[in-house]
Structure 1
Amino acid sequence: MSFVVPARNEAEYLPATLESIRDLETEHTYETIVADGDSDDGTPAIATEYGARVVDGGGEGIGHGRDAGARAADGDWLAFVDADTTLSPEYLDTMLEYARGNDLAAASSRCRMRGPRARLMQATINHVFPRMDRPILPGFNFLVRRPVYEASGGFPNVPNEDTAFSRRLARTEPVGYCPETLVETSPRRIAESGLTGTLYHYLRLDWGRYRGEY
């Protein structure tokens, strides 16, 4: 099992993320890889301090960073977790049991975002995305079988790369949402853009993706 954390100048958030991965309650063996995107704030040193393996994620976008981490990973499952996301202690065991028990190629889970303006986005991820014909699996919380990931070509380095990849994957592979565990992720984009701006951001990128056929 490999956790892949793309990070670019994430010194503020990364310690909590890596601590939550380090403290998982599991008998499974796993590794943690931080794909560093040319940080200049000490992100690589923090990753090393928490026992993660640091690889060059380049500075070309988060899709490139996710894929660089995946290519360096050794696990038969890949768990993509963003640098501002923390996991519940039972996350690994619960997610693997859910994915294997339901013969899924990829899975996500419930999320929590703190703050009143984040609640609609949280509700959309938890209740709308799982009910889509081709569910969107958010990149901050994305578990996938490694052979499936490699065969699919991985995350494209495009805007809204997680939507592009998960919808492409769901055309041919079974995916799902585990209701029995959760992650907590930062509502930074909402804080910066507001809820309306955030939803517009994703809708605009998704429309651009369809028009560009990626």
Structure 2
Amino acid sequence: MISLVIPVYNEEEQLPVLLNHLEKVSAGNISEIIIVDGGSNDGTAEVVKNFEKTVYINSEKGRAIQMNKGAQAANSDILYFLHADSLPPEEFDKLILEQVEKANKAGCFQMKFDKDHWWLNLMGWLTRVNHISCRGGDQSLFVEKELFEKIGGFDESYKVYEDNEIVKRLYEQNQFVIIKSWLTTSARLYEKLGVWKTQLLFVEIYWKRRFGATAEELYTHYYRRLNS
């Protein structure tokens, strides 16, 4: 069975969309859905009460912190981390278990955006490639709990780029597979900032990290550009 961990902050609109979707597409291998709330001040907590198998946990804000807290509370040997605005494919849980049975201890899905734009379509197409430069948190992440604990979980010093950082360590363990089914994620940040401004921001964060920027420097740059 799989423990699904969803970090949230003010997701009263998107969370019911995701939870309804999970009910429809799951093959029945989810033992629990752990919603880890980083201090929402909307109706997120009330949404959770309407769905079965959900566990609601309060947490300090920060996706790495929230996902680690969800992992600690999980009762299954397989963890699946999912963003609130990403919708996994049909029978996603069955597909994950099939990979685990093949001794693939970590991985993600191919990803496409819910917006038709040639650049976003290209970015989605590249997620089929099993290379670290093609990875991102919106693709979701499954990982055996034993391996997750072995590598120390998410690095909580990262307030942005936390998904890429843990994936890098999983690649170093030679443990990462791409499941050839499509997860659909929201392009809401691209719609808010514009496609090119958003893509430039992601490129800047990527190269700053490659050239040794600290977690705090990445966070400062990200939110300065986000609010400019």
TM range (shorter): 0.7 to 0.9
In structure 2, the partner of 1:116 is 116
Q: Give the 3-state SS of the residue equivalent to 2:69 in structure 1.
A: helix
1:55 matched to 2:57? The reply is yes
How far residue 130 of structure 1 moved from its aligned partner, in angstroms, is: 2.6
Which residue number in structure 1 is paired with residue 25 of structure 2? 24
**Residue type of the partner of 2:70?**
G
TM-score by length of 1: 0.88
Distance 1:90 1:192 in 2: 31
How far, CA to CA, are the matches of 1:89 and 1:203 in structure 2?
A: 31
Root-mean-square deviation over aligned CA pairs = 2.1
Report the Cα distance in structure 2 between the residues aligned to 1:201 and 1:12, rounded to whole angstroms. Answer: 26
Offset from partner CA, 1:47-81 (integer Å, 9 cap, x none): 1221310112312x211111111111111111111
The amino acid across from 1:8 in the alignment is: Y
Could you tell me how far apart the structure 2 residues matched to 1:134 and 1:172 are?
Answer: 16
Q: How does 1:88-167 map to 2 (within 5 A)?
A: 88-101=89-102, 103-117=103-117, 119-128=118-127, 130-132=129-131, 136-157=135-156, 158=158, 159-167=160-168
How big is the shift at 1:203?
1.9
2:94 corresponds to 1:72: no
Q: Which residue of 1 aligns with 2:45?
A: 44
Distance of 1:136 and 1:83 partners within structure 2: 18
Normalising by the residue count of structure 2, what TM-score does the alignment of the two structures yield?
0.83
1:65 maps to a residue whose letter is Q
Cα drift, residue 95 of structure 1: 2.1
Secondary structure of the equivalent of 1:130?
coil
How far 1:38 moved relative to its partner?
0.3
Aligned residues: 210
Contact 1:155-1:165 at 8 Å conserved across structures: yes
Matches of 1:123 and 1:183, distance apart in 2: 15
Partner secondary structure for residue 71 of structure 1: helix
Q: Given residue 208 of structure 1, which amino acid in structure 2 is its aligned partner?
A: K
**Structure 1 counterpart of 2:191, which letter?**
A
Q: Measure, in 2, the Cα distance between the counterparts of 1:129 and 1:137.
A: 12
C-alpha contact 1:112 1:182 (8 A) present in aligned 2: yes
**Residue 13 to residue 99, structure 1, CA distance change in 2 (3 Å):** same
Cα distance in 1 for partners of 2:116, 2:28 equals 37
Structure 1 unaligned spans of 5+: none
CA deviations on 1:94-146 (whole Å, 9 max, x unpaired) are 12213432x212111122212233x5335324425633267625355111111
Q: Percent identity?
A: 22
SS at match of 1:75: coil
Cα 1:134–1:149 change in 2 (3 A) is: farther
Aligned partner of 2:218 in structure 1 is none
1:181-196 equivalent positions in 2, closer than 5 A:
181-196=181-196
